[in-house]
Structure formats: structure tokens, C-alpha cells
Amino acid sequence: MKNSKTWIGIAFCIILGLVLLIPAWKDYRSLKTAPDVSTLKESDYEDGLMVRGHADMVFACYCGQYDDNNNEVFRWYLVPAQDDLTPLYLGIKVNSKLYESYDMIYDSTWDYLEHKTDALTKTISFQGRLKKVDGDVERYLDKFINDYETKPDYFVRYYVELKTTKASFGLMIAGGVFLLIGVIMIILGFVNDKKDKRMEAETEQFYASTPWSGGFSLVLDNQELDRMSASRQPVAPRKPSYDVTNATPAAPVSADPVTEPTVPDVPASAETESENETQKPAQDSDNNDIFVL
């Protein structure tokens, strides 16, 4: 493949495929084997650890993130980190599509805590990667703790960034497609190069085995000329469009130089007689018509 643009396209497809495929494969495998968050001790938490769990209680939303148009795009909800009554809470970062689901569990939680209902009626499952609380998120968490005058030890300094196996699997497919396209382009490139080399070799062999003269004049030997001459069809002579059977042959042209003919001297009396004869009317023997010559 001599075209540099082709190599750039191949490199782009392969690199993009690997960038999408490798992280997505790691996330997919980690999510499949992720531990339940309720089984973790506080010392087991670490940044980047994949976890899974379920939440039947949501206590509060302590932080929100807004875009440039002042639309809220993320919220951080607090859920129990343990299945028992241990007061340990974990944050979950939720996008706007899931607000309604988590708000319903929030309402169900406080209805139960305020004895408006006898049991928790809602639950939701989650899975994702643990992230260390820092920056503005940590500041709003501390503000929430101070406002409610609760103990900081009740809160895990991590939150779950939601991820799904479905999304990871989709990224794996996209990465695999780009990688496959790059591999196919490489194979086709080598196949085309092989064809081009074979055609060049055949062309060189043809020119080497065929005698050429001048620019494009083919030199034929006597045997080839005889074969071509024998294969030619005889051409019938054209019949002339005029009759030449009664044609009178032209007189031969003398090779002597052309000279002006000699005019003999005529006597004056002969000229007078000739003029008189010319002016003399003639009468036709058959009729009386007179013609003047």
C-alpha cells in the first residue's frame, strides 16, 4: 500500500477501535464480577473499584450539577451502604433520566420513616465505579453534614458513578467494528498490492517477449507475413462507370517543339474573288429559300 492516506485511515480505525474496546472490555468484565457494596468494609473502598448493589431507601440529595443553560444534569443521592441498620451512607451520582426513579424511592423512604406506611415499597438496583469525593462534591457533602448536625463518620467518602453492562457491551461492539474495519483494510491492501505486482510482472514479461521496432511498429518475420497474405480475401476490380469499348485512342503527342504554322502568300486578285463568292447568294435546289452565307 503506497498511498499514505490509506495508512492514515487504517491507523485511525485501529487506534479508535482499541481505545473503545479495551476500556469497555475491562468495565464489562469488572461489572460482571463486581462485589455487592453491602459486603464491603469501609477499608475495602478504593477509587475505581466496580461495585453493585440495590437501594430500597434514599435519604437525601446533597449535591447537583448544572450545565451552561442552567439545566440540572446530575444529582448525588445518599443511600445506605449496608443492609443492616449500620449508619453508613454512600453517595450515588445519578443522571437526569433517573431522577424520577430515585425521587420515588426518596418519597417512599420518608413515608416509612414518618410512619405513613408500614413498609418500604420501592427499590432500585445500581452498579458502577467508586469515585473519591473531592472538589465541589466534597464541599457540598460537608455542608450537608453540618446543616443536619450529623456525624461525618456516617458517610463514606466515595460515591458510585453509574455504569451498565449494556453500555459497556455497546462500546465493545463499536470498538470491535472499527478494529475489524482496520484489519480488513490491511488485508485488502496487501491483496491489491499482490495483484498489482503480478500485473506488472506480466506486463514486463509481455514486453520482453514481443519484438518492437520504433514506437509502435510491430516487426513481423517472413513466415508471419506469408500467413497474413494468404489469409487476405481477393478484392474484385471495380467496373468503370463509362463504356470504353468504342473509345478512340488519342493521337500520340509529338515530342517536337510546337511551332507556329506557315501561312502561304495569297494574290490580291484571289482575295477579291473569294470575297465575291462569299457575298453571292446561293439558291437551294429543293426550295426557294435563300440563305446568306
pLDDT of residue 33: 80
The DSSP secondary structure of 26-74, one letter per residue, reads HHHHHHHTPPBGGG--GGG--TT-EEEEEES---EEEEEEE-TTS-EEE
Lowest mean pLDDT among 45-49, 65-69, 181-185, 261-265: 261-265
pLDDT of residue 280: 47
Determine whether 215 is exposed, middle or buried from the number of CB atoms within 10 Å of its CB (0-12, 13-18, 19+).
exposed
Residue 82 has pLDDT above 90, yes or no: no
pLDDT of residue 183: 85
237: left (phi over 0), alpha (psi -120 to 50) or beta: beta
* Four-point Cα dihedral 94, 100, 101, 102, nearest 10: 50
Give the closest residue to 186 by CA, choosing from 3, 6, 12, 4: 6
pLDDT of residue 178: 87
Question: What pTM value is reported for the model?
Answer: 0.56
Q: Give the type of residue at 190.
A: F
Rounded mean pLDDT, 213-229 = 56
Give the C-alpha separation, 8 to 184, whole Å. Answer: 14
Give the C-alpha separation, 204 to 192, whole Å. Answer: 18
What mean pLDDT is reported for the chain? 76
pLDDT of residue 216: 46
Rounded mean pLDDT, 35-53 = 88
72-80 and 89-95 strand pairing: antiparallel
Residue 186 has pLDDT above 70, yes or no: yes
Which is more confident, 185 or 200? Answer: 185
